[in-house]
Amino acid sequence: MAVWALGINHTTAPLDMRGRFAFASDQIGPQLHGLRQSMARPPEAAIISTCNRTEIYCAGDEAALDHTLSWLAQSGGVSAHELRSHTYRLEDQEAARHAFRVASGLDSMVLGEPQILGQLKDAVRAADEAGALGTTLSQLFQRSFAVAKEVRSSTEIGAHSISMAAAAVRLAGNLFEDLAQVKVLFVGAGEMIELCATHFAARNPKAIAIANRTLERGEKLASRFGGEVMRLADLPERLHEFDAVVSCTASTLPIIGLGAVERALKKRKHRPMFMVDLAVPRDIEPEVKALGDVYLYTVDDLASVVQTAQASRQAAVAQAEAIVDAGVQSFMHWVDQRSAVPLIQQLNAQADEWRTAELARARKLLAKGEDVDAVLEALAKGLTQKMLHGAMAELHAGDAAARERAGSAISHFFLRNKR
């Protein structure tokens, strides 16, 4: 069984390229179906898609990395040649090591961040619901979760972590003297927005508002922070009211355009606006960044901020990598053992056939009134003869080399207690 992984992330592809391959949660099932059906022998498959990465994990009779690359390129509307330079392609133990490092936060923009583990679990759940998750990938991911748990409990890899949310607050604090005088608008109501709202709320801003496509979800989040909720349709007319805007939705197209921001700045008499776009694809048109009174940051722009806390955690990385290596070795040993499963099944089936035949013969003898001890003796002898027949035949073979090989194997399997 081969295991392979193909992906792009924040270190290999720019934001706009990653945006082409960002799959919404409701797209994962259909995309998995399309990927598997595009191959002659559908493999096990799972897709993880976040703002920083899109990765495909597969398991099958043989690795099909080129086909996987072509399929992903087609789904994003680019050529396989163009995409290839932005991808990493991994097989077997390297694919396992990558999955374990991702789950443990070792491959994240924010070293040790815990959010990726939840996203990976969501991806596994989606693959399972789509019927694409088999025994091998299930083992791979369950082991990755166990490794991640050990890394977090045994090392300081996550200590003093600066998340994207905390980085956004830090940048806002650099722009505004007093965040208590700032009105903040959050666009979206997902996990990342909830995290950002929590961090901003801790600084007691003047006002908090949530703009979301679904009012019910927006209201639930707004109530936690004493904020108001508004419809996305009202955003262009109210954008000028807010000093800081943090957006992270699953929209495939920008929802805050250049014209809307220009009109907002005019109404604000060009008082500065702080904007953070955490979405992939982008929520805010990139041209907004060129406006003189707007400070717009994307997920990639925040990288330098989150790096500042990395140095204090580097000492824990070696320890975490050792845990990952041990997990990889254990998984690959399990994969190697899986190759013997068909032979084990055949051996068990043969033994069951012999047992059934001898039991049937013994029952007939008992029904005829034969002595019980004699029947048991015959049963044991019959089973023994069947089990040893192949070995005896090999030992009596005419080829001396064959007899020597058979003798060595028989000694190993049948006479090990005599050594």
Residue 295 bridge partners (DSSP): 274
Query: Between the CA of residue 350 and those of 161, 237, 337, 347, 363, what are the distances in Å?
Result: 57, 77, 20, 5, 20
* DSSP SS3 for 338: helix
Told to judge if 51 belongs to the known catalytic residues of this protein, a careful annotator would answer yes
* DSSP SS3 for 405: helix
Residue 209 bridge partners (DSSP): 185, 228
CA distance 189 to 310: 29
- Residue 97: Cβ within 10 Å count: 23
The token duo for 352 is 């069951």
Please tell me the chain's helix, strand, coil percentages from 3-state DSSP, rounded to the nearest 5.
60, 15, 25
**CA neighbor of 276 nearest in space, from 188, 216, 203, 161:** 188
The token duo for 348 is 């068990």
Q: What is the helix (H) or strand (E) element at residue 281, kind and residue range?
A: none
The answer to whether residues 113 and 158 touch, using CB atoms and an 8 Å cutoff, is yes
The token duo for 280 is 């992939």
* DSSP assignment string, 204-218: --SEEEEEESSHHHH
Residue 88 bridge partners (DSSP): 7
The answer to whether residues 34 and 68 touch, using CB atoms and an 8 Å cutoff, is no
Query: Between the CA of residue 217 and those of 173, 189, 245, what are the distances in Å?
Result: 28, 7, 19
The token duo for 259 is 């014209």
What's the DSSP call for residue 284?
A: B
Helix axes 191-201, 115-129, angle to 10 degrees: 160
Helix axes 115-129, 135-154, angle to 10 degrees: 160
* DSSP assignment string, 10-74: TTTS-HHHHHHT---GGGHHHHHHHHHHTSSSPPEEEEEE-SSEEEEEEEESS--HHHHHHHHHH
Determine which one of 51, 58, 196, 248 is catalytic: 51
Annotated catalytic sites, by residue? Answer: 51
